[in-house]
Amino acid sequence: MASATARHILVRNKKLAQKIKEELLDGDIIFEKAAKKYSKCPTGKRKGFLGSFFKGDMVKEFDEVVFTKKTPLNKVVGPIKTEFGYHLIEVLARN
CATH number, residue 60: 3.10.50.40
Domain count within the chain: 1
List pLDDT tens digits, range 47-80.
999 999 999 999 999 999 999 999 999 999 999 9
Q: Give me the domain span that covers residue 23.
A: 3-94
Mean pLDDT of 30-35: 97
Contact call for residues 8 and 82 (beta carbons, < 8 A)? no
Contacts 24+ apart (CB under 8 A), 59-63: 59/83, 59/84, 62/8, 62/87, 62/89
**Band of pLDDT at residue 1, cut at 50, 70 and 90:** confident
pTM equals 0.95
DSSP 55: T
**Band of pLDDT at residue 4, cut at 50, 70 and 90:** very high
